[in-house]
Structure 1
Amino acid sequence: MENRPAPQGPEGCLTVAIRIPVRIVVLVLVVPVRLIRDLLATGAEALRRVVLAPLWRALAVIPFGWLYASVLTPLGHATAWLGRVVGAGVGWLGRGVVWGAVTFVGVPAAWVYRAVLAPLGRGVSLLAEGIGLGLRWVSWAVFVWPPVTLWRWVLAPLLRYGLVVPGAWLYRCVLTPAGHAIALIVALAGAGLAAVGRGVAALIVLLFVVPAVWAYRTLLTPLGRAVGVVLREIGDAIGHAWRIAGFVSRAVGRALKRLAWNLLGRPGRWVYAVLLTPVGHWVREAVLRPARKAALAAGRSAREALASARETVRTARRDAWRALVGGPPREPAGHRARTLGSTTTASGAVPAPEISLSKAEG
C-alpha cells in the first residue's frame, strides 16, 4: 500500500485571508536579501580561490616547506645522530657504574646481611617475644582482672536493680498511657484542621480558579489560536519566499556566468591557446633547457675537478711518506667495525686492532 498524506482539516477564513497578503509582502522583502547574500557568497568564494589561496601558498606554504626540507630536516637528522651517540656513551657509562656498585657495594652488603644482621635480628626477635609475653601477663594481672571483677560483681547488679528495673516500670505504667492520650488529642486536632483547610481550599477554588479557567477557555484560547495561525502563515511565507528567491538568484547567477564567459573567458582562453602557449614552449625549448644542460655540465666539470684535486693530494701524501720513511706507506685497512665519530659495532665484524703506524712499521 502506498503511503498517502493524511487528510488535513478545512482551513478557516482567518487563515485564507492572511496567507496571500503575508506571502506577497514577505516575497518582496526576502528576494533582495537572498540576491545580496548569494552575491556576497560568490564574491567571497572567488576572492578565496583567486587571491587568498595563491597568496597563502606563496607566502606560507612554499617558504615553510623549503625551510622544513632544507633546514629543519637536516638539523633534526644531525640532532638525532648526536643523541644516539650521547645515548650510547651514557649507556656504557651507566653499565659501568652499575657493575661497580654491584661488585663493590652490593655483594659486601649482601654478605653482611646474611652473615651478621640476619642472625642478630632473629636473636633480638626471640628476646623481644619473651619480654612481650611477660609484659602481657603482668598487664592482665594488674590492669584488666581488677576492673572486670568490679564490673561483674558490683557495678552491673547495682545498675540493673537501681536504674533499669524502676525505669522499665515507669515507662510501662506511666509514660505509655500518657503518650496514648497525647496522640489521641493530636489526632482530633489534626482532623479539625484538615476540615478547616478543605473549606478554605473550596472557597479559593470558587473565588479564583473557576474565573481563571473560564477566562482561559473563553478568551485566551481563541486569541492564542489566532496568534498561532498568524505566526505559522508568516513562517510558511518566509519559507516559500526563500525558495523562490533561490530560483531567482540561480537564474541571475547563470546569466551573469554566461555573460562573464562570453566577455572574459573565451577571449582569455583564445589568448592563452594562441599566444601564451607558443611563447611558453619557445621559452622552455630555447632558454630553460639550454640553461639546465649548461648547469649540469658545469656541475660535472666541478665534480671532476674535485676528484682530480683529491687524487693529486693523495699522490702528494704518498710521495711525502715515501720520502720520510723510505718505503711504501702501510695505511690501516678500513673495517666495518669502527668508524670515525661512531661507536656502533656492525653485526659479525671484528674490531680493528688499535696499533699505531710507527709500531706497524717496526
Structure 2
Amino acid sequence: MDLEKSPPAEPEARPYETKRQQDAAPEGCLAVAIRIPVRIVVFVLVVPVRMVWDALVVGGRFLRDTVFRPLGRAVMWVLAPVGRSVVWLVEGVVLVLGWLAKLVFVWPWVGLWRYVVVPVGRGLGWLGHVLVVVPGVWLYARVLTPLGHGIVAALRGIGAGCAWLWRVLVVVPAGWLYAWVLAPSGRGIAWVARGIAAGVAWLALTLWAGIAWVGLGVWAGVTWVCRGVWAGVTWVCRGVWAGVTWVCRGVWAGVTWVCRGGWAGVVWVARGVWAVVAWIGGGLWAGVTWVGRGVWVGVTWVAGVVGTLLRWVFVVPAVALWRWVFVPVGRAIAVVAREIGTAIGHAWRVAGYVSLAVGRFLGRLFRWIFVEPVRWVYKSVLTPVGHLVRDAIWRPAAEAARSVGRAARQALTSARESARQTRADIRRMLFGTPPEPEPVSLAKGLREPTVPAARTLGGRSGHDDLSPPTRG
C-alpha cells in the first residue's frame, strides 16, 4: 500500500489565460520602449475627448428625440423636391464620371482589342488558312480524290474480272458437265435399272409358281446380270468422277492463278499510292513544321524580350522597393500603430469609466440643485394649492355652469314643444281634421276563382243543388 501522496495535478490552462500568456510573449525593444509613454500620453489626450464624446452623445440623443426627429419629418416634406434635384444632379455627375472612366479605362482596351488583337488574329488565321487549309483542300481535291476513284475503279475491274473468270472457268464447265455428262449418264443408269427391275419382276411373276430349280437358275442368272450391270455402272461413275475431279482441279488452279495475279496487282498499286501519299504528306508536314518552328521562334523571342523588359522596368524595382523600403517601414509602422491602437483602446475604456463617474456626479448634483427643489415645490406647494383651487373654485363653477346648461336645455325643449303644438292647431283650423282611414275588407273584392265546398259525410257537396241536365 502506497502511503505517499501523489503530487497535485496541474490545472488546465483556461482560454483567456492562454491568450494572456501568448500576449505576454517577449516582444521587441521598440514595443517595450514606446508602450508606457504612449499609454500615458494617449490617456491624457483621450480622457477629455471621451468626456466630450459622452456629453455629445447625451446631447445628441436629446436633440434627436426633441429637435431633429420632428425637424427631419418637416424637412422630409419640405426638402423632398430639393433632394430629388440633388439626386438628379448626382446621377448626372455619376453619368459624366462613368463616361470619363470609359474614355480613360475602357475605350483604350477596346481600341487595342479592335484595332490590334483582332487584326493580328485575323492575319494569323489567314496565314494558317493559306499554309494549312488551302494545301490540304487542294491535296484532297486534286490528289487523294482522283487516286481514291482510280483505286475504286481498279478494284471494281478486278472484281468484275474475277467474277467473269469464276463464271467462265467454274460455272459454265460445271453446267456443261451436268447437262451433257451427269444428266445423260444418270438417265442411262436409271433406264438400265428400270429394265433390269422390269425383267426380274417378269421372271419372278412368270416362273415363281412351279419351277423352283428354274427359279434357282434364273436367280443365278439375275445375280450374274446384276453383277455385270453393277460393275458397268461402277466403271462409268468412276470415269465420270475422275473427269469431274480433273475439271475442278483445272478450274481451281486457274482461279488461284488469277486471284494471285489480281492480289499482286492490288498490292503493287496500293504500295505506289502509299508512296505518293507519304511523299506528299512528308513534304506538307515538313513545310508546316518549318513554318510553325519559325512562328514559335518569333513568338518566343518577342515574349522573352517583352518579359525581360517588363521584369527590369516593373518587377525588379517593385521587388527592391517592397523588400528594402516598404517592408521595414511597414513593420515599424505596424508596431507603432499596434501600440497606439492598444493604448487608445485601454485609454478609451478607462476614460469611459471616468466619464461615467463624472456624469453620475453631475447628474446627482443636477438632481440635488434643481430636480429635488422643483419636486418639493410641486409636491408641497403647488399640489395643495391646486387641490384647494379645484375644490373651492373649479368644482362649484362647473356645477353652476352645468345647472345653467340644464335649465337652458329644458327651456329650449318646452319652447320647441309649444311651437310644434301651435303649428298643429293652426293646420287643423285652416284645413280641418284629416279623415280617418277606412279598413279594407279582405273577404270581398278578391279577384280569385271560387272553390266549391268539399263533400261532406252525408254525400252532399256544393254541386248537389244543381239540377241534372235534361235530354232532348
* TM-score, length of structure 1 as denominator length: 0.50
Shift of 1:295: 2.3
Q: For 2:348, which of 242, 259, 265 is the aligned residue? A: 242
Gaps of 5+ in 2: 1-11, 75-136, 145-279, 438-472
Q: Distance in 1 between matches of 2:40 and 2:382?
A: 53
Q: Distance in 2 between matches of 1:275 and 1:206?
A: 91
Match in the other structure for 2:53: 37
Match in the other structure for 2:426: 320
Q: Could you list the per-position Cα deviations for residues 237-274 of structure 1 after superposition, in whole angstroms to 9, with x for gaps in the alignment?
A: 22222222211111111212222222222222222222
Q: Distance in 2 between matches of 1:329 and 1:311?
A: 25
> Aligned pair 1:305/2:397, yes or no?
no
> Aligned pair 1:21/2:37, yes or no?
yes
Return closer, same or farther for 1:44/1:288 CA change in 2, 3 Å cut-off. Answer: farther
Shift of 1:203: 4.5
> Aligned pair 1:172/2:141, yes or no?
yes
Report if aligned partners of 1:318, 1:328 keep a CA contact under 8 Å in 2. no
> Aligned pair 1:187/2:292, yes or no?
yes
Shift of 1:289: 1.3
Report if aligned partners of 1:322, 1:329 keep a CA contact under 8 Å in 2. no
Report if aligned partners of 1:30, 1:238 keep a CA contact under 8 Å in 2. yes
Return closer, same or farther for 1:286/1:171 CA change in 2, 3 Å cut-off. Answer: same
SS in 2 for 1:11: coil
Report if aligned partners of 1:26, 1:238 keep a CA contact under 8 Å in 2. yes
CA RMSD between the two structures: 3.8
Match in the other structure for 1:196: 301
Amino acid at match of 1:193: G
Q: Could you list the per-position Cα deviations for residues 214-259 of structure 1 after superposition, in whole angstroms to 9, with x for gaps in the alignment?
A: 5533443222111111112222222222222211111111212222
Q: For 2:332, which of 200, 218, 226 is the aligned residue? A: 226
Q: For 2:373, which of 244, 248, 267 is the aligned residue? A: 267
Q: Distance in 2 between matches of 1:330 and 1:278?
A: 71
Shift of 1:277: 0.9
Q: Distance in 2 between matches of 1:210 and 1:41?
A: 52
Q: Distance in 1 between matches of 2:60 and 2:306?
A: 68
Shift of 1:280: 0.5
Return closer, same or farther for 1:44/1:275 CA change in 2, 3 Å cut-off. Answer: farther
Amino acid at match of 2:41: V
Shift of 1:28: 1.7
Shift of 1:19: 1.8
Q: Distance in 1 between matches of 2:64 and 2:378?
A: 23
Pairs within 5 Å for 1:134-145: none
Match in the other structure for 2:112: none
Match in the other structure for 2:402: 296
SS in 1 for 2:49: helix
Amino acid at match of 2:409: R
Shift of 1:10: 2.7
Match in the other structure for 1:152: none
Report if aligned partners of 1:34, 1:249 keep a CA contact under 8 Å in 2. yes
Gaps of 5+ in 1: 61-167, 332-362
Q: For 2:319, which of 213, 221, 226 is the aligned residue? A: 213
Pairs within 5 Å for 1:117-156: none
* TM-score, length of structure 2 as denominator length: 0.40
Return closer, same or farther for 1:304/1:330 CA change in 2, 3 Å cut-off. Answer: farther
Work out the number of aligned pairs and report it.
Answer: 218
Q: Distance in 2 between matches of 1:46 and 1:211?
A: 57
Q: Distance in 1 between matches of 2:60 and 2:435?
A: 76
Amino acid at match of 1:10: P
Q: Distance in 1 between matches of 2:31 and 2:367?
A: 47
Amino acid at match of 1:11: E
Q: Could you list the per-position Cα deviations for residues 333-355 of structure 1 after superposition, in whole angstroms to 9, with x for gaps in the alignment?
A: xxxxxxxxxxxxxxxxxxxxxxx
Identify the range of structure 1 (288-297 vs 270-279) with the bigger mean alpha-carbon deviation.
Answer: 288-297
Pairs within 5 Å for 1:76-91: none
Shift of 1:308: 0.9
Q: Could you list the per-position Cα deviations for residues 21-76 of structure 1 after superposition, in whole angstroms to 9, with x for gaps in the alignment?
A: 22222222221122223334444556778x869xx8xxx9xxxxxxxxxxxxxxxx
Amino acid at match of 1:282: L
Shift of 1:315: 0.5
Shift of 1:281: 0.2
SS in 1 for 2:26: coil
Return closer, same or farther for 1:40/1:169 CA change in 2, 3 Å cut-off. Answer: closer
Return closer, same or farther for 1:181/1:47 CA change in 2, 3 Å cut-off. Answer: closer
Q: Distance in 2 between matches of 1:254 and 1:241?
A: 20
Q: Could you list the per-position Cα deviations for residues 63-115 of structure 1 after superposition, in whole angstroms to 9, with x for gaps in the alignment?
A: xxxxxxxxxxxxxxxxxxxxxxxxxxxxxxxxxxxxxxxxxxxxxxxxxxxxx
